[in-house]
Amino acid sequence: MLSKRIIPCLDVRNGRVVKGTKFTDIRDVDDPVVLAEFYALAGADELVFYDITASSDERNIFLDIVRKTADTIDIPFTIGGGIRSLDDFDRLMKAGADKVSINSAAVSDPQLIKEAALRYGSQCVVLSMDVKKNVEGRWDVYVKGGRENTGMDAIEWAKQGVALGAGEIVLNCIDTDGVKDGYSLDITREISESVRVPVIASGGAGTMEHFYDVLTIGKADAALSASVFHFKEIEIKELKKFLRSKGVEVRT
């Protein structure tokens, strides 16, 4: 059995880590490089950074954060937000990112997934998906920070993204984001069973049991969270100890 991964998520705005609920009610948390170093020492397997402003006037600041993080930590980290072209991939990879996550740009230009995978390898290309259940019980793909419904079916888009070369999927469920009532197990399991690449569950962790549920019932390969780690509600080492006691293989 492959070890399951625990991944803190750092949403970055104007050079600071912030956190909201269902993409709103944004609160300031900490300096991203300081927080990244803390998590690396605390036992995180990887980190994910999202530039939630993703505007051109913030791009230089964000690249500085990538460089400083790469110089500070020794665990892999992924960068997402505002990635629109192979040139953006180039800048982030050269600045020290291990993986690049794309969402809206992948929907607008699916060939970007293929081109990036051919240039850097699938292991460097992460397809990020913001999804929400519709009135018919199916899951739609959203873009532009969860504000725009594409009408695309989440499972079909996941399959297409992997076929184009995505080496990993981050699945974020908008309705559970920051709510702390648990991950959306049904869609996580469906997508995990539909693709041959790792699926990282995102959105909804509030207790250690929620992590256990999504890694077992939801069949996720990794669990990503922000609030419970940022506000010290769950310590990563204690979480891993709990998961091991329940028979889940995690990295020490």
Residue 78 has pLDDT above 50, yes or no: yes
The helix/strand/coil state of 29 is: strand
Where are the alpha helices (H) located in 9-168, listed in sequence order? 32-42, 59-72, 86-95, 104-108, 111-120, 154-164
What are the structural domains, with CATH classification, of the chain?
5-245 (3.20.20.70)
**25 an active-site residue?**
no
- Mean pLDDT, the chain, whole residue set: 91
**130 an active-site residue?**
yes
Residue 146 has pLDDT above 90, yes or no: no
Question: Which whole number is the average pLDDT over 224-237?
Answer: 93
What per-residue confidence (pLDDT) applies to 23?
Answer: 46
What's the pTM? 0.92
Among 9-18, 124-133, 184-193, 201-210, the range scoring the smallest mean pLDDT is 9-18
- Out of 45, 51, 88, 130, which one is annotated catalytic? 130
What per-residue confidence (pLDDT) applies to 54?
Answer: 58
Confidence band for 56, pLDDT divided at 50, 70 and 90 = very low
Question: Which whole number is the average pLDDT over 146-171?
Answer: 96
Q: Sign (positive/negative) of CA torsion 102, 145, 155, 194? A: positive
Question: Alpha-carbon distance 122 to 102, whole Å?
Answer: 13
- Out of 11, 45, 88, 140, which one is annotated catalytic? 11
